[in-house]
Amino acid sequence: MDNLDKLIFLEITNKQFTKFPDSEYYKTLELLSEMDKDEFYKLADEVHSIWNNLNTPPNLTMNKVYGSFDEYRDEIEVSSRITKIMNDFNLDLKDKMSDEVKKSIIALLGKDFFDKTFGK
């Protein structure tokens, strides 16, 4: 996984689990070239939009609220890079964390990172 994909993964998991960026996030961001940073910011905006559509209560939005990432992706074009990371790590941008997602985070970033970021 390259640094851009790693940062997109961190962006998605931060949104999904309502966490703020941490030192790993900022360290990885600094490793990106200016071109990759531009790409990342576009993708981060897209992740934010997807998250909003999946988690905003229906009575607070004029837009359709989608029940799953797959439902959203079926109706609205999603970047292939975001889709790949979502599928590779079984993420869904809903406010929950499955055991499979926990294992993916630990495999990618280590148990210490997981414990520090999400608690034990």
pLDDT tens digits for range 51-75: 988 887 666 556 777 888 999 999 9
pLDDT at 1 over 70: yes
Encoded tokens for 118: 């999400």
Q: Which amino acid is it at 44? A: A
Identify which of 25, 47, 30 has the alpha carbon closest to the alpha carbon of residue 116.
25
Residue type at position 13: T
User: Hunting for tokens 């996984």 — which residue is that?
Assistant: 1
Range list of β-strands (E), the chain: none
Q: Tally DSSP H helices, then E strands, for the chain.
A: 7, 0
pTM of the model: 0.75
> In the prediction, which pLDDT does 96 show?
65
What are the sequence ranges of the domains in the chain? 3-118
What was the pLDDT predicted at 62? Answer: 63
What confidence tens digit (pLDDT) does each residue in 6-37 have? 999 999 988 887 788 888 899 999 999 999 99
pLDDT value of residue 59: 62
Whether 93 and 69 have beta carbons less than 8 Å apart is answered as yes
